[in-house]
Chains A and B, each alone.
Chain A
Amino acid sequence: MVGVTHYLVLSAAVFAIGVFGILTRRNALLFLMSVELMLNAANINLVAFSLHYGNLSGQVFALFVMALAAAEVAIGLGIILVLDRNFGGIDVTVPTTMRR
């Protein structure tokens, strides 16, 4: 049987992949997707522990997280759009007008 520990390991792995993506990708969209991975890692935990504890709050919260992730993406895409318009690309390392 698949225990809660397995889910924990899975979520940790997904979270780590997300972090790895953030650390290595310069493309804003990929950055955004990595964040989504991290949020979904949290969702895995929430759902798994919800089952483990037998209460629903984890699952409900997971739904909220998904909704918020969608909202976040919406805002993020908007910002990425103006980024492209102002800097001619979506490389997050380009805008450095305010270093120091």
Chain B
Amino acid sequence: MTGAFDFAPAIALLPLAAFAVALFGGNYLPKRGALAGITALVGSLVLSIWALVTVAGGETYDADLYTFVAGQDTLSLHLGILIDPLSALMLVIVSLIALLVFVFSLGYMNDEDETGLPRYYAELSLFSFSMLAFVFADNLLMAFMFFELVGLCSYLLIGFWFREAGPSSAAKKAFLVTRFGDYFFLVGTVGIFATFGTGMFAGSESFPHMAEQALAGEHSVRTFLGLGEQAWFTVLGLLVLGGVIGKSAQFPLHTWLPDAMEGPTPVSALIHAATMVAAGVYLVARMYGFYLLSPTALGVIALVGGFTALFAASMALVKQELKQVLAYSTISQYGYMMLALGGGGYVAAVFHLTTHAIFKALLFLGAGSVIIAMHHNENMWDMGGLKDKMPVTYYAFLSGSLALAGIFPFAGFWSKDEVLYETLIHGFGGSPLLLAGYAMGLLAVAFTGFYTFRMVFLTFHGEPRTADAEDPHGVRWNVKLPLAVLGILAAVAGVINLAPVEKVTGIHLTFLHDWLDMAPDSFGTAVHHYTGDHGLMHEFAGYTAAHPLGETGTVLVGAAISLGLALAGAGLAYRLYAVPSPTEHTDKLGSLKTLLMNNYYQDEYQVWLARDVTLPLSRAADTFDQSVIDGVVNATSSVSLFAGERVRRIQTGLVTHYATLITLSLVALLVVFGYLGGWF
């Protein structure tokens, strides 16, 4: 029977076809290939939704699609599709946002008469293909492959305006930094294949399951480097985490993301906010069953996440360019997701992933709209007063901002609250490390409120500060439509998992939890398998929940604190910036501002490592190579020729010398062989 899953490969392959069409035929098509991408993504979205509905009907899908390498007497490499609630959800998010970004690009790119559009749409389509394939990958190697491919697309799209120096440099940096992370990911992947002989995510033959059995003593696996199973799994988990940290721009590999804003804004929205950056977090969620076996890895994830959330938010406080604020806010928000995953909040992480994808895409697209209006000027200090000139953008942007800041009842409030809540209860439950993460996350909430509304007020409120802001460039339906759709979603998407409300009222409202729990037991990816009473989190990670103020009390107090902090931040921003002519209040921070503007000198030390350590090292190696190694080769030749020159001089041209030499040689031979032969 033909069902949704039979068409699953097409979810990714349709954009691939669009890639080919746009690349080779884009110049001859209306809209330069955009329509191909839009058509393909409509198809992908429809199929994704169909798959989602089918999953809702209780069906899941895990099948080999293609044998990449058929090993003989050894492991084979497959490409396969795993559609469970998590991936189905992600497929819909990705295809939806990608579709909207394509539509938006019509306004942002086509209407602005950019050149190279077929290339743009081809790359965007290729990205969609790669990202969708990454999402439904059923094994780690396939995930890695498409993880790399989205990296390529990111590189290409950041560097879209290659004629300028900035984008190509930023593209290089983005690829390199994430590649550095991917190195660890690849080592981890290879290690996992070597350990388990498989990279499958789900099922009884999957590596999380085998690892679980190994720890339970039901199955033995080969470990390396003399490490015990638990320790080795931790090493593997941390290695894979390297890729996650790179791709999801977590500290210390976050430095590429702000630079990546050199790319076209729709690209920032799609790749560097909503989807590709989510790939890292998604990967942790995808193999959560493996991470739950290692409390150390979880702790690292939580701390990295919490620290990144705070760290990035602090830098966002002082940025002057719209997209820079959003970039740091993206880093910060992914920090929350990592915090949630590290803190045992699987559902919370996925929830925040979902809402963030929506509201951050919205904010970027809104920023894009503003940038169109401002003739590609991104500096917020040149804006002001755009509220009245572009109301649709303003209200959509506001919706997104409220969600980002975590203001009740916008989507971000619910998800962020759940993240913090989960971390808190597990922190109290005997993992005090998580409390540090929680504290950082909480502080970041206040920062988030402040920078979000500083951004909103500087951009839309007050008096126009430049001529462009006075008379902005108009935008068309193709910009407004995606904004409107996402604006509404940002406001209401929280309903999918109203955990606090459920806790308080007892009405069953945690739909996302139920949804993620629908994965069949055979997959081992269901929520109860992870965090249920007998789930891995209790058995292996040693997390337990504790509610110091009772369940309801803790929920309410936690929500109140975070909401309060968000409002406090927002309020401060209101006081400082919601005035007709705001000033640079952050100047009062003094040298701290300098530090923040310079991003804690994170870029500097990484550039230093690349330019002042690696490059000189390579030049030293080159000098060594040229002088010593090649020197030996050339010296061998010189010495030979010199020796030849010397040998040649034996031939003096005087025949008497020859006679002498012959006689002497003969005498020498006679003496030596006479001595050896005992003639004397």
Q: Is there a contact between chains A and B in the complex with CB atoms less than 8 Å apart?
A: yes
How far does the alpha carbon of A83 sit from the alpha carbon of B655 in the complex, in Å? 14
A96 partner, pick from B649, B654, B660, B663, beta carbons under 8 A:
B654
Residues in A with CB closer than 8 Å to B652 are 96, 99-100
Nearest residue (CB) in A for B659 is: A22
- The answer to whether A26 touches B656 (Cβ under 8 A) is yes
B656 partner, pick from A19, A23, A99, beta carbons under 8 A:
A23
Q: How far is the CB of A95 from chain B (nearest CB, A)?
A: 8
- The answer to whether B659 touches A93 (Cβ under 8 A) is no
Instruction: Mark out the residues of chain B between 638 and 662 whose CB falls within 8 Å of any chain A CB in the assembled complex.
Output: 648-649, 651-656, 659-660
Instruction: Mark out the residues of chain A between 18 and 51 whose CB falls within 8 Å of any chain B CB in the assembled complex.
Output: 19, 22-23, 26
- The answer to whether B660 touches A93 (Cβ under 8 A) is no
Q: How far is the CB of B361 from chain A (nearest CB, A)?
A: 84
- The answer to whether B653 touches A23 (Cβ under 8 A) is no
- The answer to whether B651 touches A100 (Cβ under 8 A) is yes
- The answer to whether A23 touches B651 (Cβ under 8 A) is no
How far does the alpha carbon of A92 sit from the alpha carbon of B437 in the complex, in Å? 102
How far does the alpha carbon of A92 sit from the alpha carbon of B658 in the complex, in Å? 11
Q: How far is the CB of A40 from chain B (nearest CB, A)?
A: 18
Q: How far is the CB of A41 from chain B (nearest CB, A)?
A: 14
- The answer to whether B659 touches A96 (Cβ under 8 A) is no
Residues in A with CB closer than 8 Å to B655 are 92-93, 95
How far does the alpha carbon of A12 sit from the alpha carbon of B656 in the complex, in Å? 22
Residues in A with CB closer than 8 Å to B663 are 19, 22-23
**In the complex with contacts A19-B663, A100-B648, A92-B653 CB distance below 8 A:** no
**In the complex with contacts A93-B654, A96-B654, A23-B659 CB distance below 8 A:** yes
Q: How far is the CB of B657 from chain A (nearest CB, A)?
A: 9
Nearest residue (CB) in A for B648 is: A100
How far does the alpha carbon of A25 sit from the alpha carbon of B654 in the complex, in Å? 12
Q: How far is the CB of A61 from chain B (nearest CB, A)?
A: 22
Q: How far is the CB of A57 from chain B (nearest CB, A)?
A: 25
A23 partner, pick from B648, B649, B660, beta carbons under 8 A:
B660
How many A residues, CB 8 Å from partner?
12
Residues in A with CB closer than 8 Å to B659 are 22-23
- The answer to whether B656 touches A100 (Cβ under 8 A) is no
Q: How far is the CB of B664 from chain A (nearest CB, A)?
A: 9
Residues in B with CB closer than 8 Å to A23 are 656, 659-660, 663
Q: Is A1 in the interface zone, CB < 8 Å from B?
A: no
Q: Is A98 in the interface zone, CB < 8 Å from B?
A: yes
Instruction: Mark out the residues of chain A between 75 and 99 whose CB falls within 8 Å of any chain B CB in the assembled complex.
Output: 92-93, 95-99
Main secondary structure of the interface of B (DSSP, over half): helix
Residues in B with CB closer than 8 Å to A93 are 654-656
Q: How far is the CB of A16 from chain B (nearest CB, A)?
A: 10
Nearest residue (CB) in B for A96 is: B653
Q: How far is the CB of A86 from chain B (nearest CB, A)?
A: 15
How far does the alpha carbon of A22 sit from the alpha carbon of B653 in the complex, in Å? 16
How far does the alpha carbon of A19 sit from the alpha carbon of B660 in the complex, in Å? 9
Residues in A with CB closer than 8 Å to B653 are 96-100
Q: How far is the CB of B110 from chain A (nearest CB, A)?
A: 80
How far does the alpha carbon of A33 sit from the alpha carbon of B653 in the complex, in Å? 22
A interface footprint on B51-66 (CB within 8 Å = 1, 0 otherwise): 0000000000000000
How far does the alpha carbon of A97 sit from the alpha carbon of B651 in the complex, in Å? 12
How far does the alpha carbon of A98 sit from the alpha carbon of B648 in the complex, in Å? 12
Q: How far is the CB of A55 from chain B (nearest CB, A)?
A: 25
How far does the alpha carbon of A10 sit from the alpha carbon of B659 in the complex, in Å? 23
Q: How far is the CB of B310 from chain A (nearest CB, A)?
A: 82
Q: How far is the CB of A94 from chain B (nearest CB, A)?
A: 9
B interface footprint on A58-85 (CB within 8 Å = 1, 0 otherwise): 0000000000000000000000000000
How far does the alpha carbon of A97 sit from the alpha carbon of B653 in the complex, in Å? 7
- The answer to whether A92 touches B656 (Cβ under 8 A) is yes
Q: How far is the CB of A34 from chain B (nearest CB, A)?
A: 9
Residues in B with CB closer than 8 Å to A99 are 651-654
Nearest residue (CB) in B for A98 is: B653
Q: How far is the CB of A29 from chain B (nearest CB, A)?
A: 14
Q: How far is the CB of B652 from chain A (nearest CB, A)?
A: 6
Q: How far is the CB of B679 from chain A (nearest CB, A)?
A: 14
Instruction: Give the one of B648, B649, B655 with max A CB within 10 A.
Output: B655
How far does the alpha carbon of A35 sit from the alpha carbon of B656 in the complex, in Å? 13
Q: How far is the CB of A90 from chain B (nearest CB, A)?
A: 12
Residues in A with CB closer than 8 Å to B651 are 99-100
A interface footprint on B483-516 (CB within 8 Å = 1, 0 otherwise): 0000000000000000000000000000000000
Residues in B with CB closer than 8 Å to A92 are 655-656
How far does the alpha carbon of A95 sit from the alpha carbon of B652 in the complex, in Å? 11
Residues in A with CB closer than 8 Å to B649 are 100
Nearest residue (CB) in B for A24 is: B656
How far does the alpha carbon of A95 sit from the alpha carbon of B653 in the complex, in Å? 8
How far does the alpha carbon of A100 sit from the alpha carbon of B649 in the complex, in Å? 6
How far does the alpha carbon of A93 sit from the alpha carbon of B655 in the complex, in Å? 6
Residues in B with CB closer than 8 Å to A98 are 653
Q: How far is the CB of B13 from chain A (nearest CB, A)?
A: 77
Residues in B with CB closer than 8 Å to A96 are 652-654
Nearest residue (CB) in A for B660 is: A23
Nearest residue (CB) in A for B657 is: A93
Instruction: Mark out the residues of chain B between 301 and 326 whose CB falls within 8 Å of any chain A CB in the assembled complex.
Output: none
Instruction: Give the one of B649, B652, B659, B663 with max A CB within 10 A.
Output: B659
Nearest residue (CB) in B for A25 is: B656
How far does the alpha carbon of A93 sit from the alpha carbon of B652 in the complex, in Å? 10
How far does the alpha carbon of A19 sit from the alpha carbon of B659 in the complex, in Å? 9
Residues in B with CB closer than 8 Å to A95 are 655
How far does the alpha carbon of A41 sit from the alpha carbon of B648 in the complex, in Å? 34
Q: How far is the CB of B658 from chain A (nearest CB, A)?
A: 10
How far does the alpha carbon of A98 sit from the alpha carbon of B651 in the complex, in Å? 9
Q: Residues on A close to B: CB < 8 A?
A: 19, 22-23, 26, 92-93, 95-100
Closest 6 CB pairs of A and B: A99-B653, A96-B653, A22-B659, A92-B655, A93-B654, A100-B648
Q: Residues on B close to A: CB < 8 A?
A: 648-649, 651-656, 659-660, 663
Ordered by A's residue number, 13 sampled pairs between the chains whose C-beta atoms are within 8 Å are: A19-B663, A22-B659, A23-B660, A92-B655, A96-B652, A96-B653, A96-B654, A97-B653, A99-B651, A99-B652, A99-B654, A100-B648, A100-B652
User: Could you list 19 further interchain pairs (A-B, Cβ under 8 angstroms) beyond the known A96-B652, A96-B654, A99-B651?
Assistant: A19-B663, A22-B659, A22-B663, A23-B656, A23-B663, A26-B656, A92-B655, A92-B656, A93-B654, A93-B655, A96-B653, A98-B653, A99-B652, A99-B653, A99-B654, A100-B648, A100-B649, A100-B651, A100-B653
